[in-house]
Structure 1
């Protein structure tokens, strides 16, 4: 098995690199080598700039890194002709040269090899990115180079951020990385149970998404302050899932109930983004439906925006600092799992209704589907309206789904209690009233 895998890897590398005729100028080959050189110059630019702060002019800089990028490009290009051992040999030789150079230089200086390890690793990465560019993956190689430069440049910022982490925050970060980068990729992406409604990867993805929203909210509040941090989280969270954002804010409001109104403003802003998302989806898929839906959805968004403006204006001066909010933990897995289980149950009910009622149960189906998500029912209604031309019933179905979704978020907010519950429920209730008034105008006019 191992020899077969090695053989396949060699074949992949051979097919990735074109058999070039080196007796004439090849523009495609030249482009790859230029990209490899540019990658080295890009990484070397940061290293050269860093030498000014370190007052270390012996450190390798932009010219050397440029040559290393080109070296990688040449190694990847010549591998099919010379042999697969060429790139490993280049890396080993370069590593030995760099390590020896650092040891010699360190004799008369105050730094050690370990302190300059970042530059050595960056050099080897640059060579490999040059190889990657030479086998045709130029966009990926350039993207990786930009990430490398960002990591090198942000060294002081990253060190400062890590230095400010509390033990609880570090523990929460590690747990989040485990559920998102270790558990999620290994879960099967297939349906189980009745109607195959339980998909482990999809369900766990929702858990990750809710946990991510909690993280975004927590650290945005720490970085930007209570008011601006909550609003920023509401905007981006609403683009992903207003329900998941509500779950996250309910948890934060439970930790800091005195800031309940500010968190309610975040929920209202997430609902504004939700209505905008619905408007964009319908406008793309069924413009005739979007025209009729514009007034109800627009009034709902405007109402929620007014709540956000009022809460922010009346609380911006009284908002406490992030350190005074006493938010215990940015990561609470149990709450995310409970919501994911609830969503699975709702999806099962939706499938049962679809199986038994079909299109005749559109309104019932919309109400049930809205308990979990608005995008799916919006897409379904928009496609149906585009085919049948039935617009008004589609508008009613989407608004029913919005009402059901607001009910779920109202229950979530209500469990948190306090000012957060009162203002969140009030904002969502007034949104529905505004949408109903807009629908009434559409019907009678």
Structure 2
């Protein structure tokens, strides 16, 4: 935008921009006024806001140093807006001040355009237009929010922005890379990814079907998602059995992507080594799930009820506490395994970790990338993931019930995925 000043007078470009931006704001207010039949309390529409912007520009350039004219014009505009609000409140019982605030922002457009870079004032215009148009969206969102949703957000901001910076970064146990800061950092990162998937599932894909529930749930916890889907499958018709298994495998596929993000955050060198193999694993798992989905004869009236009712809040204190405890346990186990059993013992521990939450084990490996070889970290991470998939298959068989119609689909689907992933692991060792 600044390049226009090389070809046209600066005053002309600034005047055109201020007029155009003010007109856009006014048009957005016009659209709102047209939706309110019988509305007679608006301060102004498109032309009014355009003239407010032009007035601010003129008063600013006439006295750009002392700004007495600009401040005087703002004071007069503020008085007029205050009188307008008084009339609305006393006679029409309308208490909104959005139009007044937008009018004041429009008046300030001239000094913003003159003194600030183009990205800044364009960002202001975009923000004003979006917030103006999304009023009903925000209203619907507020109505759908749980009673404790803002408390949950406050918890996340507290653990990430208040507690984390205050923790010391000194080892708790000599010779073991375990500090309060590293423990809480891992907890914050995992909680952030889980909280994002929770918000997507509740507010963006609330009316999603089984497949989308598996995809979004896999970002939070593939084990929890598979357990929920297996329990729900007990009431599903036989024609939808494969659909639930496909959703479980898609949750596993998203687990690979979740670990790719975590590895990228904590260890760039490990990410460069492992990401091609994790991508192959994720793609092959998703392909098996999609094949099962395609072979199913789905009912036309298939339920698309949301799966949120069975998903717990990812920021519950006990969840964070369990994660932190597991992180400490695996840190100590990893250290002493390397000391007394070497790399072979660490490989065995990676398979054993699959019986619990493998995230603390993998994050501990990543934070000890200075003392453990990158290839060892990559191999142990993939082995832990494969072991966890085996356990997830057992969870799916258990929670779906004895004699479940999902059983043959689970065995075929998960068995194929485990076989492919073991083959990828062998290729990794050969390379």
Q: TM-score, normalised by structure 2?
A: 0.65
Q: How far 1:434 moved relative to its partner?
A: 0.8
Q: Give the match for residue 15 of structure 1.
A: none
Which stretch shows the higher mean deviation, 72-81 or 402-411?
72-81
Q: Give the match for residue 7 of structure 1.
A: none
CA offsets, 1:221-252, max 9 Å, x none? 53x33235415525xxx6xxx4x332663685
**Aligned in 2, Cα 1:207/1:112: closer, same or farther, shift over 3 Å?**
same
Q: Say yes or no: does 1:153 pair with 2:136.
A: no
Q: Give the match for residue 97 of structure 2.
A: 117
Query: How do 1:36-435 residues align onto structure 2 when only pairs under 5 Å count?
Result: 39-54=21-36, 59-66=43-50, 68=52, 81-82=65-66, 93-103=76-86, 111-114=92-95, 116-127=96-107, 135-136=115-116, 138-163=118-143, 165=144, 169-189=145-165, 190=167, 191=169, 193-194=172-173, 195-199=177-181, 200=184, 202-222=186-206, 224-227=207-210, 229-230=212-213, 233=216, 242=219, 244-246=220-222, 249=225, 253=229, 256=232, 258=234, 265-275=246-256, 298=280, 301-311=283-293, 313=296, 317=300, 319-322=302-305, 327=309, 331=313, 333-334=316-317, 336-342=319-325, 344-345=327-328, 348-349=331-332, 352=335, 356=339, 363=347, 371-372=358-359, 396-404=379-387, 406=389, 430-435=416-421
Higher helix share: 1
Q: How far 1:269 moved relative to its partner?
A: 1.9
Say if 2:26 and 2:47, in contact at 8 Å, map to a contact too.
yes
Q: How far 1:207 moved relative to its partner?
A: 3.0
SS at match of 2:35: helix
CA offsets, 1:158-190, max 9 Å, x none? 334444x3xxx4213222222134553222324
**Aligned in 2, Cα 1:36/1:298: closer, same or farther, shift over 3 Å?**
same
Distance 2:269 2:311 in 1: 41
Gaps of 5+ in 2: 1-7
Distance 2:97 2:12 in 1: 32
- Kindly report the root-mean-square deviation, in angstroms, between the aligned alpha carbons of the 2 structures: 5.4
Say if 1:73 and 1:134, in contact at 8 Å, map to a contact too.
no
CA offsets, 1:334-356, max 9 Å, x none? 56324532553256247626974
**Aligned in 2, Cα 1:122/1:415: closer, same or farther, shift over 3 Å?**
farther
Distance 1:247 1:128 in 2: 53
Say if 2:249 and 2:288, in contact at 8 Å, map to a contact too.
no
Say if 1:272 and 1:304, in contact at 8 Å, map to a contact too.
yes
Distance 1:248 1:87 in 2: 60
Q: How far 1:60 moved relative to its partner?
A: 2.0
Which stretch shows the higher mean deviation, 364-373 or 145-154?
364-373
Which stretch shows the higher mean deviation, 174-183 or 29-38?
29-38
CA offsets, 1:190-213, max 9 Å, x none? 436343433335524533432442
Q: TM-score, normalised by structure 1?
A: 0.63
Q: How far 1:119 moved relative to its partner?
A: 1.3
